Structure 1
Amino acid sequence: MNYSLSQSSNQLLFTLVAELKSGNLKRCESLGLTPEEMGMLTSLSTDDLLYLSESRVSVLNLRVHHENLGLMLAQARREQKRLERIDRALILGASIEMMQKFFGLDTSEVSGRRRLGGIQTRKGRSSAADAALEPALWAQWRESGMDNPDSVESLDVMMLMAETHGVNLTTVWTLVRGWCAQDRRETSV
């Protein structure tokens, strides 16, 4: 083990001593410390801890838990995609209602993200789509094969529609929900 890694792992002893002094024995036990070792650690002086932390000899073994690392990296990628999707939706004009529905964000979170992104919004309801654009929007929605306007996959399609046609995302969502509701009424009759 190289010197800096040995030093870093030995500095974990400071954390273990703090855990012991706080009465968190379970953490130390889970790392494999015996009651005798825990007793010795709690009796160390500051000079003893300093010596151990700077020693080239490692008293701890570090091991990568590959399965957990893989899971954490996958989760980090999913979260990054989610944040990118949130920012894209806000830039395209997603309403607070949409952000609540698709991402569970509340008003203050949406406002904060808009402020951080420098996104200006108009007050009131979003404008209606140009009647000339509605057939093109409908054709693109129908071509996607989606039938649930509230799924994340549908959100991706609606964002593409908003980008392609230069229409506010909330306006697209309103149209799509109307079309889907109409389809449900027609199929139930």
Structure 2
Amino acid sequence: MIPSLNYAVLTDALHALKEGNIRHCEALGFTFDEMNALSQLSLDELFTLSRASAPLMDISVRHDVFRQLLTLSRQETLRQQRINRAVRLGGSIALLNQYFGLTSNDVCLRRRLLGVTIPHGRTPIPDEDTDAEIWRQWQQRRQENLDSPEALEAMMQVTEALASRPDIPSLTAVHNRITLCEQDMTNRRATHAG
């Protein structure tokens, strides 16, 4: 065991003792006598103990927890990448709140970090050709639930597919047009069914 690990364990236990968190020290495996001795250590004694080459603890890997944490870590990394991608594609505060739960401060900070500037005012409405292309691209990637992460992914792909156009629509413009068209289709179906 690396001596610095001894230091980490000892300082963690001392910190817990100072806060009166005896249960944490028990969870680490310290007895009451050891906790009492630990709380009375001088700085020199703590330094000597922490530098000892003999390990204070046995460490074992909880494989199931490790796998679960790896999975969660990968999911969070993908989520952060998806958020950054949505910000770069011109996702509005409302859109980023809807799909990721971000506040306006979160979005503004992320834009600043990514160097993304958003024009003020209303989101421009795409011209007819762009609007038609948005719909064509959406039909290739269409998702039933517009509020799902899969639908947002498809909308980002549509936005990226339109990046070669002179007036590149933002993700927000694409989202708004798709939502409007889907609502129109739903309304027409309801009218024809009645």
- Whether TM-score is above 0.5 comes out as yes
Q: Does the alignment pair 1:164 with 2:161?
A: yes
CA distance in 2, matches of 1:128, 1:139: 17
**What is the match of residue 74 of structure 2?**
77
The partner residue of 1:106 within 92, 103, 114 is 103
> Partner of 2:72: helix, strand, or coil?
helix
Structure 1, unmatched stretches of 5+, are none
Equivalent residue for 1:187?
189
**Counterparts of 2:128 and 2:17 in 1: how far apart (Å)?**
70
Aligned to 1:176: 178
CA distance in 1, matches of 2:14, 2:135: 65
Find 2:36's aligned residue among 36, 39, 42: 39
Identity of aligned residues (%): 34
8 Å contact kept, 1:147–1:180: no
Q: Is the 8 A contact 1:92 1:169 kept in 2?
A: yes
Does structure 1 retain, via aligned residues, the 8 Å contact 2:92–2:172?
yes
**1:182 and 1:133, CA in 2 relative to 1: closer, same or farther beyond 3 A?**
same
Q: CA deviation at 1:149?
A: 2.1
Aligned residue number for residue 166 of structure 2: none
2:118 is aligned with 1:121: yes
CA distance in 1 between partners of 2:53 and 2:122 (Å): 66
Query: TM-score, length-normalised on structure 1?
Result: 0.90
1:52-80 alpha-carbon deviations (Å, 9 max, x no partner): 11111112112222222222222121111
Q: Partners of 2:142 and 2:116 in 1: how far apart? A: 31
- Deviating beyond 3 angstroms after TM superposition, the runs of 4 or more aligned structure 1 residues are none
Aligned-partner Cα distance in 1 for 2:143–2:5 = 52
Cα pair 1:149 1:173 within 8 Å, conserved: no
Q: Is the 8 A contact 1:158 1:173 kept in 2?
A: yes
Cα distance between partner residues in 2 of 1:43 and 1:107: 49
Counterpart amino acid of residue 178 in structure 2 = V
Give the TM-score taking structure 2 as reference length: 0.88
Equivalent pair of 1:19/1:25 in contact (CA under 8 Å): yes
Offset from partner CA, 1:48-106 (integer Å, 9 cap, x none): 22221111111211222222222222212111111111111111111111111111111
Q: Distance in 2 between matches of 1:145 and 1:181?
A: 14
